[in-house]
Structure 1
Amino acid sequence: MTEKEVNYLKALYSVAEDLNTEREPDGVLQSIPEDVTEAMGVKGCSLILLSSDKKTLLHTGTYGLSEDYVGKGPLLAQKSISDALLGKVVTILDSKSDSRVQFPELKEGEGITSILSVPMKLRGEIIGVVRVYTAEKHEFTEDEVYFVQAVANLGAIALENIRLLETVKKDYDQLRQEMLEWRTSMSGTPRSMWFMRHSRDQHLPGGPGSK
């Protein structure tokens, strides 16, 4: 096993550990790009999620990229390496001259040359992409593609688990609020008033509950 392969295994373990312990979405979204960047020794990485209307891509976790680049504006799904949203792995050797790239001048200013874009899938549906950026021209190897695909799959599962947990918490909070409202509404009913009065009498001196 090569040193690179060992680094990938360590990174996958790190990603899995982070995703298993992290419960906040921001933490999950940030840990993935950082682990990928350090394992591959690249310029940076970005986790980009597809908007609910599937028209734009939103940078939701990045590492190694400037705030100016990340905040450059929304990425149009149909103009920003759109093949990845069809479930295909896309490699860009030179982002400055490739027509599939949106904002090529900004990528040049950021020092980005080659790009690997891997779809994030959840039960067959594309929910976003993981993108890897290099400063020099780089032909991504099969091992590198497999590694990023594995990370993307782990990330998609983790995000779904977080959403499920948030839904359960929201439902629980709503149920608890409804129970409180029900108890409040019942406090003025004759049966409730009788119960409160009976309970009070049990503890009065000389009452049935006194000794």
Structure 2
Amino acid sequence: FAAAAATEGLRAAVVVPLALRGRVLGLMRLFVDDLDALTDEQYLSLDVLAALGAFTIEKVRLHDSLVRLAESLNASLELGPMLQQVLQTTVDEMGFTAAAIRLLDREGQLLKLAAAVGLSEEYLAKGEVELARSAVDQRALAGEIVVRRAGEEAGWQYPEELARENIQMVLVVPLILRGVPKGVLRAYSARPRQFGPVAQQYLRSVAGMVALAVEKAELHAALQSRYEDLKLDLAEWYQFLALG
């Protein structure tokens, strides 16, 4: 755009990346008459302005992502595909290595795998998570967002499997609805990473929607089962009347 810049009388430009968590979201251009006249303080101000711009873009993008997730969760009652889509979107949006959702069994003793993205078949085949042997999940189901290094053996039921998966950091968020724990959402990172307030709040919002979707699917399944029972009862009643 050299000709257009010359027409506008633009002599020089400073280009600053709008970057967040190592990802470039865009570019900010500042047109100046003399690059040499810019001071270190002005360059620092540009960096700060670019960081604020990137943060704002990220917030808007994540908000839009949550809206899309809510729409997809409301569009279906098939829990498996819904949860799979939620995890894929979460991994893509936040730059995680992998993610998984585990739901409590009826006895509240096991966390059973409901959906996973980015994890190997060998890791997923390790077995169910026994709540009594997983302090990390106990803390999460009590309402805490837990961030732990995978290399810290204390708190994990399967620390060796985590190490073989090359997982460095894990963020565990509870699935809780009206005070009742439903399960956990885990996000995995293959590199050392600080799961900051934005990532934690995003996952808390996703977890809330997932918990609601799980309850909705459970209610639908219960109603469907009751409906089938009623149909069977009605068929037996007609048979009884026919015999009479």
Q: Residue 147 of structure 2: which of 91, 94, 98 is its match?
A: 91
Q: In the alignment, which of 202, 205, 211 is matched to residue 150 of structure 1?
A: 205
- Does 161-170 or 143-152 show the bigger shift? 161-170
Partner letter of residue 166 of structure 1? A
Distance 1:79 1:91 in 2: 18
Please, what TM-score do these two structures have when normalized by structure 1?
A: 0.83
Matches within 5 A, 1:1-211: 2-80=56-134, 81=136, 82-92=138-148, 94-189=149-244
Distance 1:3 1:135 in 2: 25
Asked if the contact 1:32–1:47 (Cα under 8 Å) also holds between the matched residues in 2, the reply is no
Partner amino acid, structure 1, of 2:87: P
Q: Does the 8 Å contact 1:45/1:131 carry over to 2?
A: yes
Q: Distance in 2 between matches of 1:6 and 1:105?
A: 38
SS of aligned partner of 1:116 = strand
Q: Distance in 2 between matches of 1:179 and 1:97?
A: 58
Between structure 1 and structure 2, the one with the greater Rg is 1
**Which residue of structure 2 lines up, in the alignment, with residue 197 of structure 1?**
none
Aligned length: 188
Decide whether the 8 Å contact of 1:91 with 1:114 is kept in 2: yes
- Residue 98 of structure 1 deviates from its aligned partner by 4.7
Task: Find the aligned partners of 2:201 and 2:211 in 1 and give their Cα distance.
Answer: 15
Q: Counterpart of 2:133 in 1: which secondary structure?
A: coil
- The letter for the 2-side match of 1:45 is A
TM-fit CA distance, 1:72: 0.8
* Pair 6,111 (structure 1): closer, same or farther in 2 beyond 3 Å: farther
- C-alpha contact (below 8 Å) 1:14/1:35 kept by paired residues: no
Contact 2:141–2:176 (Cα < 8 Å) also in 1 = no
Q: Give the superposed CA RMSD.
A: 1.5
Tell me the distance in 1 between the aligned counterparts of 2:127 and 2:209.
27
Q: Given residue 214 of structure 2, which amino acid in structure 1 is its aligned partner?
A: L
Unaligned runs of 5+ in 2: 1-54
**What is residue 41 of structure 2 aligned with on the other side?**
none
SS at match of 1:61: strand
1:97 match: secondary structure: coil
Identity %: 29
